[in-house]
A and B are shown apart, each in its own frame.
Chain A
Amino acid sequence: MSKAFATIWRNVRKGDGPAAVAFLAPSFGGITVFFLLPLIDTVRRGFYDVRGVNFIGLESYVSVLNNQAFRLAAANTLKFAAVCIPLLMVVSLGTALLLRSIKPMGKFFKTAFLLPMAVPVASIVLLWQALFNEGGLANTVLLRVGLEPVAFMDSGAAFWVLVFTYLWKNNGYNMILWLAGLDGISETLYEAAHADGANALQTFRYVTLPCLLPTVGVVSILSLLNSFRVFREAYLVAGAYPNDSMYLLQHLFNNWFMNLDISRLSAAATMLGVALLLIILVMRRFLDEKD
């Protein structure tokens, strides 16, 4: 961020200032109106009562931290991110490597893996209900092979249904990011490794992975942010009050808004924002060091 500002300032001093400002103004205006001002208002509301009139200090923050629903939702969200993000990164990287190795059909498979992104959420929900309902396809298969049916949406299995949804939906997108990263690695490095007698695993460990580190940062941050978008599917499949294992922060935020509990909602959202920012900063610091 500071680099960007330094560049702008340098251009201003060089005399390109008005043009730079004019080019930046639309985006900056949009970001201010649609992002910065609501963000400031959200932070402010966390310290005020519901009507935004009376200052109540840290009352909402204390209430949020003591709230059992918040604790459950935060724990579930953290667990979901902790399980999903590494899993998605591994699976999508594997998919990308696989795609590069099957060049004749690469384009076809690339499109096929991207298709879930194009499917509307409502359609996915219908599909999921057909698959995971009490008498759905998954249970029919389980019964056919002699296993007990599973209450996918009313038990701990709901969490894994959500994980599967997230992987299925985001794998294609992450795969594209990995492919871009892989394309950026110079062929000469692979040729040198090959000349030195490195096998495929060693080439991956000592050439591919180190070169992919900048991509890891981008992919992990985007995966983290995308993990918050799985709420749409969870909400449409299981409603505002799903099984405990599927109860995420977004469910809580949605329900608090329905109940007009804006102060606690704002406080919780602020805390979540700060936590995300810290995680991203730590990740960047870690990746910068590796760089």
Chain B
Amino acid sequence: MKKWFVCFVCAAGLLLLATACGRNGEGGEGANEETSRGESRRVEAGGERSGRYAEVDITPPIEGRIISMVAQDGSLVAFDEGLRTRYDSGDKGVTWTQSPGPGANDDRFTNVQSAALLPDGRLLLYLQGYGMTKLSPDGTTEHFPVAEIDDAIAEGDSHNVSLIQLLDDQRVLLNYGVDWLARFMRENPTGMNNITHGQGSQGSGATGSRTEVRTSEVRMSGSTAGGGISAGGNNISLGGMFGQTTAIHDIATGSLISDLETPGTLGANNNGDVFTLQGHSILRHTSDGHIDTFLDGTAFTFGSASGTAAAMQEIADGCIIVNVSMYGQYNRLFRYTWDHDAHVNPQKTISIWSLEDNETVRAAITEIWRLHPDACITYEIALSGDNAVSVSDAIRTLNTRLLSGRGPDILILDGTPVESYANRGMLLDLTGRMDVSGIYQNLLASYTDNGRLHVIPTQFMIPALLGDRSELSNVRTLAALADSVVNGNPAAPLISGEGMLGGVPKEERAQLHFGDLRELFDIMWQANAPAIVDGNRLDSDMLRAFLETTKAISDMYGLTDTNEMMAGSSFLSFGGGGRVNTVPASLVTYMLQSTNMGAFAVTNLSLLHTMMDRGDGEAFIEPFPGLAPGVWIPSTLAGVSADTANPDFAAAFIQTLLSVQVQQINHGLGLPITRSGIAAQIDLINELMRERNMPLFGVDLDAFIARLNTPTNIETTLRNMVWETVERLCQGRLDVEGAVREIEQSIRNYLAERS
């Protein structure tokens, strides 16, 4: 009996262990999971939980920019632009009282970005060209000495003070920086050509160092508060703040008390915690060096594509006030209060999965949460960047979960074998569950299969060629493009005798330019893939034509050389509507008047509008001349799992992805796929153009989009297989026939598996 008992215990233990192991595996290997709540709490499957941060808009009646602060008694104080009117609220922003501000009769305060209310009733603010200033209610000013800022003024460096916040009656928190470009120009007058033409400097625009690519010498190091490129008329210019400093200064003397290593500070509290914005979340840096996510912004306005937190402060009862800059044009004030009684509706609980972080999805989460405050949405990003999960690992894990019936409710299928999911019954037929009439029907038609709709592209891109009409009319086919490039000038001389922005004389310009072989391959593959691989058939003649043209262009421009002239050309960024986009080197050189045409995938209407006028004549746009006509690139492809417990709410989420509130913002992933989204984006551009007295958006997009009918193949496996051979071909390690044979061989099994 003893033996029997021991064995029974062992067997039971073994089985329990096995069960425990199985439970640990739930949720997906390596997936980075974020809940769309204020706190990083999880919802148990099918259950309810209570408590969450609630967002309340407490913006005073101000249309434009708002300077907000908290007085020592805890009341809220806000000023409009120029400090013309003061607003006070003693009830956490529920009601506001209005009174004349110190700038009511004084124009000196129009550029004030931030201010703090001192215990003596004066405002501490920054005045351009004068420095930190204490401003009395009667308008009298007193200089407040901050050595770093005063030095910058004395040196003539552009500078900026983005945050002033009172910590207590003795200390003030300041966030300031100096324009790196201006300083760099002064210290390195000969280095400017390198930067402007993209071969000299690289920077992320957020943090890090700016490095001379040619010498690997770090020119300046530190954090970057902002940066970008603006283009218009005959000019293209760079700008950026560099060396952002967050420091605590003495209110009485202005002397430095401590220098914090927290760039981009939003504020601090009485406990010594400092808050910063990291992506979509507000992080808390405690005085003992610990960093945690204080407020996940996925579900809130400050984490959306349209808003960015500019400042935050804690007030009584743990309430948080966040000043949010909307589209960089006006501000809104929000109060975040922990609501213990908030409930989650299990029927509005969904999870979303995507391979990579997707701004459009985040915008839709914010929007649907605004519409359904009782919803709980979990967003899983398989490749979060902080794990070693590969694409195939992520897809394998997803498939395992789907097969076990524990998959996510919504799949964002970019980078996955989309057709596999759609054709094998893993996705719900969305026909009749949502309104898709606003989508361009010629684009949607490719995803409608016998009246069923399993996958919906919510954004798209168009491989295109930009140039003057005569140039474009000569390159209507791939062969013509190859001829045009081969018979044209060699690689674009990026720097002309006229200086860095003078452009190159037309007779010296190359037809095109690419930063590297990958940039050429990407646009070529996007435009030609549907003709090369049609269904489960590989067309060898089309493949040969594709390879010959790619090789010809690569050879002409020496794209496989490790040529420093090419390196880093595409680092420039363009802020269009919402987020920052990378501008391909081909467009940068076109804009700099070094080439006759620019090849790119249209993802951003603001950028397209800017590129339509580079100062030497009107530009035209045509679909990239590929082997297949009317090619477009689907993006943010959404589908609902057939096993979802909440199909209606999942469909409602996809409907939100298509809503004008989400589609009107450029998220950097493509154009809106709805007519209303396109119209809204054009309206926003035109509004801005009217303000600046500049030409309105002039491209007839509806006509352009009407020509599109073939979605390109976005499967990464296939693209990578072709890329490996193309790289060897262009490096001269294979001839065209060898490359055709190699691709035929490698793709044969890929296609056979799918037949």
Contacts and interface: CB of A to CB of B under 8 A. Distances in A.
Given A29-B15, A69-B752, A22 B3 contact: yes
A62 interface: no
B105 to A, nearest CB: 70
B426 A51 contact: yes
A243 B749 CA distance: 10
Interface string B612-630: 0000000000000000000
A167 interface: no
Interface residues of B, number: 40
A72 B8 contact: no
B395 A30 contact: no
Contact of B392 (A34, A69, A258): A258
A260 B753 contact: no
Contact of B749 (A52, A53, A244): A244
Contacts of B750: 241, 255
Given A68-B752, A72-B749, A259-B754, A240 B717 contact: yes
Interface in B725-755: 733, 742, 745-750, 752-755
A25 to B, nearest CB: 4
Interface string B71-113: 0000000000000000000000000000000000000000000
Contact of B14 (A30, A52, A256): A30
Contacts of A33: 15, 18
Given A19-B3, A50-B424, A260-B399, A67 B18 contact: no
Interface residues of A, number: 36
A195 B559 CA distance: 79
Contacts of B755: 67-69
Contacts of B723: none
Nearest to B750: A241
B8 A22 contact: yes
A18 interface: yes
B421 interface: yes
B754 A26 contact: no
B721 interface: yes
A241 B721 contact: yes
Given A26-B14, A30-B14, A68-B755, A257 B7 contact: no
B520 interface: no
A101 B310 CA distance: 81
Contacts of B752: 67-69, 72
Contacts of B420: 259-261
Nearest to B395: A258
A259 B15 contact: no
Given A18-B4, A259-B753, A240 B14 contact: no
Nearest to B753: A69
A241 B396 contact: no
B226 interface: no
Given A50-B425, A256-B753, A241 B746 contact: yes
B575 interface: no
A200 B752 CA distance: 53
A19 B4 contact: yes
Nearest to A264: B753
Contact of B425 (A51, A67, A69): A51
A96 interface: no
A49 interface: yes
B417 A22 contact: no
A22 B15 CA distance: 14
Nearest to A52: B403
B5 to A, nearest CB: 8
A286 to B, nearest CB: 35
A232 to B, nearest CB: 14
B402 interface: yes
A10 to B, nearest CB: 18
Nearest to A51: B425
A59 interface: no
Contacts of A53: 425
Contacts of A258: 392, 395-396, 399, 417
Nearest to A243: B745
A122 B5 CA distance: 44
B660 interface: no
A252 interface: yes
B7 A22 contact: yes
Interface in A65-114: 67-69, 72
B11 A257 contact: no
A23 B425 contact: no
B405 to A, nearest CB: 9
Contacts of A52: 403
Contacts of B749: 69, 72, 241, 244, 247, 251-252
B396 A257 contact: yes
Contacts of A255: 750, 753
B7 A259 contact: no
B753 A252 contact: yes
A154 B724 CA distance: 12
A234 interface: no
A257 B15 contact: no
A57 to B, nearest CB: 17
Contacts of B5: 22
Contact of A26 (B11, B395, B403, B748): B11
Contacts of B14: 26, 29-30
A18 B717 CA distance: 55
Interface in A258-282: 258-262
Nearest to A24: B7
18 contacts: A26-B11, A34-B18, A49-B424, A50-B424, A50-B426, A51-B643, A52-B403, A67-B753, A68-B755, A72-B752, A240-B717, A241-B746, A244-B748, A252-B753, A256-B753, A260-B402, A260-B424, A261-B424
Interface of B: 1, 3-8, 10-11, 14-15, 18, 392, 395-396, 399, 402-403, 417, 420-421, 424-426, 642-643, 717, 721, 733, 742, 745-750, 752-755
Given A69-B755, A154-B742, 18 more contacts: A18-B1, A19-B4, A19-B7, A22-B5, A22-B8, A23-B7, A25-B8, A26-B10, A30-B14, A50-B425, A53-B425, A241-B717, A241-B746, A244-B748, A247-B749, A251-B749, A258-B392, A261-B420
